[in-house]
Every structure is written in structure tokens, then in C-alpha cells.
Amino acid sequence: MSCATYLVGMGAMTQAADRDLIRIIESAAEGDEVAFARIVATYHDDMCRVCTFVSGEETLAEDAVQTAWSIAWRKLDTLREPDHLRSWLMRVAVNEAKKLLKKRSRRSRAEVAIDTSRIAGGTDPTTGIDALDLLAAVRHMDPDDRTLLALRYGLGYDATELAAVTGISPAGTRQRLKRLLDRLRRELE
Amino acid sequence: MDDMNALERQLANVVQGAMRPPRPVDASAIVRTATTGAPTDRLSAISRRFRGGSVPVSAERGFSMFTAVKFVAAAAIVALFGGFLLASITGDPRETAPLPAAVSPSPSASTVEVTVPEEFVGRITCGTHRQDGQSTDVVVGSVDGGKLIRRETRGQFGEYTVDEMSDARFDGTHTLFMDTDEYFFPGSDPIGYPLLRSSVHRIENDGGAWQSIGSVAYLPGSTASGSYLPYTAPLADRWLLVGEGAHDGLTATWEMSLVEPDCYCWDQGHSEFCSWDLRGLVFEGDPPAAPGAPSAGK
């Protein structure tokens, strides 16, 4: 299923109250396909965007996210905290993308293709780092690091949400991000 | 993101520029695919089959458990484990085919209630309730000036959730308890050391419990594509379970096959989606006793 099909507007559920969200999740877990479709409409595109950034392949990302929805359909009733739906879905999708990436490349540190057309080159006067050099460094990172970057700086996840996706503690996530930034600084400054 | 430093702000610009822009979604098509491809359907078909229900032709093609060859194999297992006769079973002519010569007829066969080993299938998934256990490093020797360490990990356990089970007697709480010994040199390549594991798989449900105890050695050398396992992880585990309580007097054997070959229950972030397909037999009594081994020198 293509991530690029234009039929249903995004964000249909983003303004839903917590109670509505719980009701929608419960209905979907009981097999209500309409409720499940509302969840899909809300989160699918972000999952695809992150998986594409992590894997560098849009087709792979679409396959991974479709598999993630099949898993979610079967396991939605195991979700204990409705607040964690977004990070839970993202974790399933990213794990599937990493699995597919591993199968295809058989290397955990594969350089991935990332679209550079929307990035303006040039050196940032504050950091002294060229944007394209920064992007090149990102392309060489392993998928776990790219996941952190996409979620933190692409979608604005906080440490708690990052922890829910990566499976490590919020403190561990902050540490990992700090180490990642330190490494980038050392490599590029 | 107000508290970002300059590098983080630049990184945010780069990452947001590199991620493709948001697009609308065809949710109904995604839902159609997600809800029709679930393994639940597949397992339900097998389950119906074992209960004698009608199974669509398309489903039968995928799961040919009752082909003639497999039936003969099943009959041989009957002979091995129980010595019961199938001759009194009526029904499909395939199921009353002559048994292999290995089955010895019993004089009382016609008067004894025949119990056939029943096959069951299921799928279980590593749960979130698990404990890593405590590890102690013990120096057990030295090789070429380097210390050989045995890392003794005790008290690990993990629960599985049951996704599908064709036989309700194997539903319930599945817990794997394990203790392991790993041998390695400090500072050496973490990939490629042996692991010895003793474990108990226990299933508890309203009707009673099942328990399997076993030890296994994993050879050095990772088979995982991500190389995060230091040993050759099995793609399938075989267990012999002994019934307790309401299942007392029954024995079961099953093979657990990983759905995804690189999955590992204790791998953070992956474990909840790491599933095993089960295929087993439950039968009355015990397997044949171990034969007496010949004495040394004979």
C-alpha cells in the first residue's frame, strides 16, 4: 500500500479528546474496522516518513508500515496505555523497517539514500557546520541513531516518547542523544 | 524544542528537510490489507480442521496435515508412544488405511477405548513481563595469559502471550525460566562463545499445568543477521511437557519455530513482536522408557 495515496485527510483524530481516543482504541481492538481506519489515518503518514528516513527506501518503508498495521490489528487489545498508542505504533513500524533493512543489506551500517533536494547547503555561522556535511553524516549513521533523530528532530518526540519507541529508559535515551550530538560535533567541527 | 542548542536547531532543520513532506492516506485500503492478512485466519483454519469442521479448499491446500504420508507418520508416532490401535476408527477411508507393520495388534484392542494422540497448533509471543536475572563472573581458567570467564546468569524469566491455540489445554500463562552459563575472554570479540542453558517452560491454566525441563548447549558463532547473539540460536526448539493437575497422566511434545529468524525475547524493543509457531501432539502416558545402554567394552 502506497504511503502517497491521496484520499483521506491527515489528522482526522489529532484533536480527539482522551476519552474519544480510548473509545476508538477499544472499538478497533474489538474488530471495528472504521475505528481502526481512523487510527490508520492519523498515524500512518508519520510512520511512513520516519521509516523512509530510517531505511532510505520509500518502498521498504511502505512494506514495513503495512506489516505494522497487520500486527497492530492483531495486538491492539494488548495495549495497556492508550496514551502510548503513537509510540507503540511507531515502535512496531520502525522495528519492521529495521528488520527488512537488515534482510536486504545484511549490514547494520548501510549508507542510506536521503532526499537532499529540500535542504539548503551552506555553513551555519553558529555551529560552523555545513548542512550538507551534516546530512552526509546522518546518512552514514546506523538505523537506531537515525530513528532517534527522526523522532526527536523530525517529529518532536520528548524523551519519554523516545524511550517508549526505543525500549530504553528516558535517561538512557537522553544519554544516547547527547553522545550522538557529541560525536557529530567531533566529526564535523 | 526551545531548549535546543545551535547544533540541535541545525540538525532539526536538516532532518525535517530530509524527511519527505506529509501526505494524505488511503486508510480504508490499508485497513483492508491489514485485516485480511492476519495469521489468525490461518491458524483458525487449522484449528477447525482438527475439530472435524469443514475447511475451505483454499485453506486445505496450504495445510496438508492429513495427506497420506503425514498420516502414516502420525500412525508411526502412535505406535511409538502408546501402542494403541487405530483400526477401530471409522470415517474417511484415508484414516482407516492399514497401519505400518511396526504396529503390533493388541488382543484387547476391540474392547479398549482408543486414545489417539491429538495434534495442536498455536502461536505465542514474547511478553513484556520478564526479568534479566543476576549475573556473576567467575574466572575458571586462563588461556595464553588471558582469563577465561564463566558468566553465570540466574533467575531469568519471561512470559509469553498466547495469540492462538487450537487446544485450550495449552492456553494460559506460559513462562520460560532459564539459567545460563556463557564462556568468554574479557575484552574479546563478543561474538562467538558457547552458551549452556537450563530452562523450564511452564504453562498454568485453570485446568492444571504443564512443565518441561531441559538443558541445551548453543555453539559459538552467531546466526543472527545483526550479529547480536554470540551463539548459534536455534530456529526451532523441541520440548516434552508433562501434565499436572487436570492434565495429570498426559504428555505433550511440541516444536517451537521462530516466525522471524532473528528474533530474541530478551532483545529490547523487539521482544513484544517476536513470535513462535507451535506444532505438537498430546498423548496419554509417557514416551517409551529409555533403552538400557550396553555396558562399556561390550
B173-184/B195-205 β-pairing: antiparallel
Q: For residue B126, name the pLDDT band (cuts at 50, 70, 90).
A: confident
Q: Do residues B95 and B71 lie in contact, with contact meaning Cβ atoms separated by under 8 Å?
A: yes
Across the A:B interface, residue pairs with CB atoms under 8 Å apart total 165
Contact A168 B33 (CB under 8 A): no
Query: Which residues in chain B are closer than 8 Å to A32, comparing Cβ atoms?
Result: none
Query: Which residues in chain A are closer than 8 Å to B31, comparing Cβ atoms?
Result: 33, 36-37, 40, 69, 73
Q: Is the pLDDT of residue B52 over 80?
A: no
Highest mean pLDDT (candidates A32-36, B3-7, B95-99, B127-131): A32-36
Please give the residue of chain A at the shortest CA–CA distance from B36. A70
Mean pLDDT calculated for residue range A81-105: 84
- Give CA–CA dist B161/B174, Å, rounded: 7
Residue from the list B14, B28, B34 with its beta carbon closest to the beta carbon of A138 = B14
Whole-number pLDDT of residue A149: 94
Q: Which grid coordinates are listed for B104?
A: 503390533
Please give the residue of chain B at the shortest CA–CA distance from A146. B15
Whole-number pLDDT of residue A116: 67
- Give CA–CA dist B12/B203, Å, rounded: 49
Q: Is the pLDDT of residue A66 over 90?
A: yes
Query: Which residues in chain B are closer than 8 Å to A154, comparing Cβ atoms?
Result: 12, 15-16, 19
| CA distance to partner chain B, nearest, from residue A19 (Å) | 22
Burial of B66 per CB tally in 10 Å (0-12, 13-18, 19+): middle
DSSP element (H, E) containing A43: helix A33-55
Please give the residue of chain A at the shortest CA–CA distance from B164. A74
A186 reaches B (C-beta below 8 A): no
Whole-number pLDDT of residue A151: 94
Between B154 and B186, residue with greater pLDDT? B154
ipTM for the assembly: 0.82
Mean pLDDT calculated for residue range A57-75: 91
Q: Is the pLDDT of residue B30 over 50?
A: yes
Q: Is the pLDDT of residue A183 over 80?
A: yes
Between B45 and B35, residue with greater pLDDT? B35
Contact A33 B11 (CB under 8 A): no
Whole-number pLDDT of residue B81: 43
Query: Which residues in chain B are closer than 8 Å to A70, comparing Cβ atoms?
Result: 33-34, 37-38
Whole-number pLDDT of residue A52: 93
Q: For residue B235, name the pLDDT band (cuts at 50, 70, 90).
A: low
Mean pLDDT calculated for residue range B47-61: 31
Which of these ranges, A75-89, A122-136, B48-62, B187-201, has the smallest mean pLDDT?
Answer: B48-62
- Give CA–CA dist A2/B168, Å, rounded: 40
Whole-number pLDDT of residue B215: 82
- Give CA–CA dist B195/B51, Å, rounded: 41
Between B147 and B269, residue with greater pLDDT? B147
Between A95 and B60, residue with greater pLDDT? A95
Q: Do residues B178 and B293 lie in contact, with contact meaning Cβ atoms separated by under 8 Å?
A: no
Between A71 and B236, residue with greater pLDDT? A71
Report the candidate in B76, B74, B75, B79 with the shortest Cα–Cα distance to residue B288.
Answer: B79
For residue B61, what are the contacts with CB-CB under 8 A and spacing of at least 6?
none
Q: For residue B261, name the pLDDT band (cuts at 50, 70, 90).
A: low
CA distance to A120, A131, A171, A182, per residue, from B8 (Å): 16, 12, 18, 11
Average pLDDT, chain B: 68
Name residues 13-32 of chain A within 8 A of B (Cβ).
none
Whole-number pLDDT of residue A21: 83
Mean pLDDT calculated for residue range B34-42: 57
| B145-162 tens-digit pLDDT | 778 888 888 988 888 888
Cα maximum dimension of chain A: 55
Q: Do residues A133 and A188 lie in contact, with contact meaning Cβ atoms separated by under 8 Å?
A: yes
Q: Which grid coordinates are listed for B138?
A: 567467575
Between B57 and B36, residue with greater pLDDT? B36
| CA distance to partner chain B, nearest, from residue A116 (Å) | 6
Q: Do residues B162 and B172 lie in contact, with contact meaning Cβ atoms separated by under 8 Å?
A: yes
Between B58 and A3, residue with greater pLDDT? A3
Q: For residue A51, name the pLDDT band (cuts at 50, 70, 90).
A: very high
Residue from the list A37, A49, A127 with its beta carbon closest to the beta carbon of B7 = A127
Name residues 63-82 of chain A within 8 A of B (Cβ).
66, 69-75, 78
Give the whole-number percent of chain A exceeding pLDDT 70: 81
What is the four-CA torsion angle of B167, B168, B172, B178, rounded to 10 degrees? -20
Phi, psi for residue B274 in degrees, rounded to 5: -100, 110
Q: What is the DSSP string of B35-89?
A: HHS-HHHHHHHHHHHHTT----HHHHHH--TTSHHHHHHHHHHHHHHT----TT-
Please give the residue of chain B at the shortest CA–CA distance from A136. B14
Whole-number pLDDT of residue A28: 92
- Give CA–CA dist A153/A133, Å, rounded: 17
Contact A134 B268 (CB under 8 A): no
Please give the residue of chain A at the shortest CA–CA distance from B228. A108
Which pTM does this prediction carry? 0.48
Whole-number pLDDT of residue A175: 82
Between B264 and A144, residue with greater pLDDT? A144
Between B188 and B151, residue with greater pLDDT? B151
Whole-number pLDDT of residue B94: 33
Find residue A11's DSSP bridge partners: none
Whole-number pLDDT of residue A170: 78
| CA distance to partner chain A, nearest, from residue B262 (Å) | 8
What is the four-CA torsion angle of B268, A175, A91, B122, rounded to 10 degrees? 10
Residue of A32, A74, A77, A174 to mutate, interface with B, max B Cβ within 10 Å? A74
Whole-number pLDDT of residue B263: 66
First to last CA, chain A: 42
Q: Quote the radius of gyration of chain B (alpha carbons, Å).
A: 25
Whole-number pLDDT of residue A40: 94
Please give the residue of chain B at the shortest CA–CA distance from A33. B31
Mean pLDDT calculated for residue range B99-114: 39
Mean pLDDT calculated for residue range B263-277: 65
Helix, strand, coil shares, percent, chain A, to 5: 70, 0, 30
Q: Across chain B, how many H-helices and E-strands are there?
A: 5, 9
- Give CA–CA dist B100/B267, Å, rounded: 46
Whole-number pLDDT of residue B106: 39
Contact A73 B27 (CB under 8 A): no
Coil, helix or strand for A37? helix
Whole-number pLDDT of residue B252: 93
Report the candidate in B272, B164, A16 with the shortest Cα–Cα distance to residue A25.
Answer: A16
Query: Which residues in chain A are closer than 8 Å to B269, comparing Cβ atoms?
Result: 91, 95, 165-168
Helices A58-75 + B27-36 axis angle, to 10: 60
Mean pLDDT calculated for residue range B204-224: 77
Contact A45 B260 (CB under 8 A): no
- Give CA–CA dist A151/A148, Å, rounded: 5
Q: Which grid coordinates are listed for A172?
A: 538512557
**Alpha carbon B105 to chain centroid, angstroms:** 35
Please give the residue of chain B at the shortest CA–CA distance from A185. B7
For residue A5, what are the contacts with CB-CB under 8 A and spacing of at least 6?
B23, B24, B25, B26, B29
Query: Which residues in chain B are closer than 8 Å to A6, comparing Cβ atoms?
Result: 23-24, 26
Q: Do residues B173 and B205 lie in contact, with contact meaning Cβ atoms separated by under 8 Å?
A: yes
Query: Which residues in chain A are closer than 8 Å to B24, comparing Cβ atoms?
Result: 5-10, 45
- Give CA–CA dist A50/A92, Å, rounded: 12
Whole-number pLDDT of residue A37: 93
